[in-house]
Structure 1
Amino acid sequence: MARARNIKPGLFENEELAELGPFDRLLFIGLWTLADREGRLEDRPKRIKMKLFPGDDYDVDEGLAALADKGFVSRYEVEGFAVVEVANFLKHQKPHGTEKDSLLPDANGFLTVNERGKGGCVTGGKHLVHVSGVPAIKGNNVNPTLDNGSATVAPQSDNALILRFTDSPNPEEEQELAPQEQRPAPEPEQGPPANEAKRGTRLPADWTLPDDWLAWALSERPEFGEAAMRKVGESFGDHWRAATGKGATKLDWQATWRNWVRNQRIPIGVQRAGPSLGSRPSNFVNLPKHTPDMYREESAHDGPNF
């Protein structure tokens, strides 16, 4: 089944790929649309030709060999499967979370099974299963337990893709379409400090205002001062620890803190930055002093009193 994929500008500047013929380069792009979420497809040149070049006189088998010679794809046979795997596929493509798992093993015979949450969307967890231990899939038969498309994904979203168009200012830096390198084992993720709220969780009972959050708040609202801003942090913690329902769980607590700070009113008794009212010069200075003599009537006066 063909899928929508992403083409980056660096593709056209890759010197290794430029040495191949135009049809070979087009074949490489076409393989992305035929590959599954792991970048694999069956090594069946005739079927590939019918999918990508139905009206052209082009030898797909020779094109695959040329791409493999340059390291852009690998061709292998394992446990009865003949597979083409696109190099660095997941580095440059972002399959949609509901796209079904690959039914083709890697060069070592392992299938990647993704853990899925509500709606059939991958959660990030995955594990490997050797294809020899899955009798239903050995010999190219579909194993229902691995077919996430029909079991957990709605038909209309089975092939939906999020397209991410990212222009790289330095194609050489991104190493676009470089030959496949052995992937190192992923390093364990480091959790956030204990006093920082994790994304998508309740605010911890022992949460205190982190220093970097305080520094940002003071740069945004310098008129508060550190002592007043720490009280703002206490009010933030008290409010969200007492919150219930969906509002008690935020996707991003740091963004929530920023909105909280921006909406705070200046505490009573704290003046905004800049000159205060008392420091402005008065308009009523250097006026003549009023004395009783200024309003004394003259004793001898002729004529009307005006």
Structure 2
Amino acid sequence: MSVPGSRQPSPLPSMSLRGAVDLSALKARATATPPQHATHPTADTAGGARADGTSAPAPEGQASQALAVDEASFPELVQLSARVPVLVLLWAQYSPESQRVRDELVAQLAGYGGRIAYSTADIEAFPQLAQALAIQAVPTAVAFLKGQPIPLFQGAAAPAQVSQLLDELLRVAEANGVTGTVDGGPTPEQAEPPLPPRLQEAYDALENGDYAGAEEALTKELAEYPADHEAKAMLAQVHLMARVEKLGQDHAERARKAAAESPDDLEAQLTVADLDVVGGHVEDAFSRIVGFISRNFGPERETARVRLLELFEVIGATDPRVSSARQQLARVLF
């Protein structure tokens, strides 16, 4: 989802949790009014930041705190990510490597002065999160920014690589108005100017799962402002999310089987490409459609090309994966 208050496409290579990542039930609790006496998530180490953004005193010499997130406390994490980016490390007791990375990140994130909150999720205690994010192995690090998941790394990444990823995460956060710290800072209301009325209408409709209402509002916006890139990106996301929402598990499995057995089955290839984008396998989705275009001609080729361009809008023109796929598309077309 493009970020409220911006008239340019968000640089986030991700989407709303609703429809795109199957965390809708968890997010629903995040948007509800929190209980008056809600308990805070437990911590892997004492002291540091709570999920509501306040600080607990940390013992001298302790770098920072990692919040242990479970299904009950996940909504607080979603709320916190509206003000400060949150790194979540998915780990498991059976994996010594994931435990080591979990502990090493405490010290590494301490150098960021509270500009990135740190949480951990034991996939054995919170399997719903691992399933929703399609986690294949531990350790896996995922950032959340304004409730949206952003894959960071899997496995034991080198400290220098982790630092580069964290620096980039902060740049993306700043570009989207998320500049708070775990100890305080700008609230979401202070950081975000309001959306234009029709985009706000579309945003609200999408949050309620009303894809038709979101599409109607965005279509009106584009009729009046054809060059509104944010509206175009939002509309592409609405189309994708509506298509995926209609898919049942059986349909998705049949589509994958058909795509594997019949490379020239347009509907199956486009369906699997949608699923790949939603699952974070963006390069696979782009390569699949470019491959279809290279093998086919006529109306089906044009249909595939148009769908690919729409998926480019979903991911964002500045994403290097889009730039690479555009080059591949140009080679097969010309």
Structure with the bigger RCO (C-alpha within 8 Å, sep 6+) is 2
User: Which structure is larger by alpha-carbon Rg, 1 or 2?
Assistant: 1
TM bucket, shorter chain: under 0.3
Q: Per residue, is there more helix in 1 or in 2?
A: 2
Q: TM-score, normalised by structure 2?
A: 0.23
Q: TM-score, normalised by structure 1?
A: 0.24
